[in-house]
């Protein structure tokens, strides 16, 4: 039998609740020329290549108390990268019979096939303007008592983030010894509860939560705006007042569209 430490409820068998944290970050940049745009994409590809992403995901696994079973990683051409990790709640018995993938014991595949950590990156740019965006999608999905929310602070600090979209969902159920179903094994009112105060102060945040379905959603947009932080290859000293305003308006419009999830027609007031 398994016992939940927080609620002190005796479980019938294995805790098979699936907890999934989806963390999406966006970095926005402005380039004046095609050469600068290509240089930005090269910079992003080097900064967030498969090896560095693997290092980040390995740290996530350590933070949540999971054990890495297998890693698959890939850098793409012309840009982008992916990493997928299969993880388990407990250490792996090296004497277990192996599956077709020699790094993966059969017993773990059967019991822990819903525990994984993945990241995919998407550098892109506007075809007619100078705006470039970089998006990284990270999913931390665990089965058992380990919680992906423990890694949220580290994920935020690992990326240069202008906008974040964070989703957390608990799926399935586990069963108490008396047969009652438990659809969640911990208290949560908002994802913001798991974001440090100093980070929350830096962002405007919106929650959209469906408590009865154990679905939690938080969107974050950086409050401070310093144009120099968004220019790649030059500074505001090289811009006229008119150029500075035009670029500022374009960047803020781009950030608002991503944050609110819709296109905004017309210029900003």
Q: Tell me which residues are annotated as active site.
A: 115, 120, 143
Rg of the chain's alpha carbons, rounded to an integer? 22
- What tokens does 177 get? 């010894």
Within 13 A of 207's CA, how many CA atoms are on the CB side?
14
Q: How many CA atoms lie less than 13 Å away from 24 in the CB half-sphere?
A: 12
Which residues is 7 bridged to in the sheet? none
Cβ pair 135, 122 in contact under 8 A: yes
Best CA proximity match to 79, nearest among 129, 118, 135: 135
Find all residues with CB under 8 Å of 165, minimum gap 6, and list them. Answer: 22, 23, 24, 217, 218, 219, 220
> What is the DSSP code string of 46-78?
HHT-HHHHHHHHHHHHHHHT-EEEEEEEEE-SS
């Amino acid at each position: 039998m398994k016992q939940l430490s927080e609620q002190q409820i005796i479980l019938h068998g294995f805790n098979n609740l699936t907890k999934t944290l989806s963390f999406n970050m966006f970095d926005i940049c402005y380039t004046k020329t095609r050469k600068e745009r290509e240089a930005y994409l090269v910079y992003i590809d080097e900064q967030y290549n498969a090896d560095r992403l693997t290092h980040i995901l390995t740290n996530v696994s350590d933070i949540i108390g999971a054990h890495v079973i297998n890693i698959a990683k890939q850098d793409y051409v012309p840009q982008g990268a992916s990493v997928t990790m299969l993880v388990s709640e407990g250490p792996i018995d090296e004497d277990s019979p192996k599956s077709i993938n020699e790094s993966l014991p059969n017993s773990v595949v059967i019991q822990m096939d819903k525990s994984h950590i993945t990241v995919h990156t998407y550098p892109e740019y506007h075809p007619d303007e100078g705006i470039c965006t970089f998006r990284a999608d990270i999913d931390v999905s665990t089965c058992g008592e380990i919680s992906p929310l423990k890694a949220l602070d580290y994920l935020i600090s690992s990326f240069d983030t202008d906008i974040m979209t964070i989703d957390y969902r608990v799926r399935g159920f586990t069963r108490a010894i008396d047969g009652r179903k438990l659809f969640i094994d911990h208290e949560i009112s908002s994802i913001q509860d798991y974001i440090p105060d100093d980070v929350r102060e830096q962002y405007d945040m919106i929650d959209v939560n469906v408590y009865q379905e154990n679905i939690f959603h938080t969107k974050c947009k950086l409050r401070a705006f310093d144009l120099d932080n968004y220019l790649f290859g030059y500074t505001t000293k090289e811009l006229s007042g008119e150029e500075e305003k035009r670029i500022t308006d374009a960047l803020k419009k781009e950030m608002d569209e991503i944050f609110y999830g819709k296109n905004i027609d017309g210029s900003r007031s």
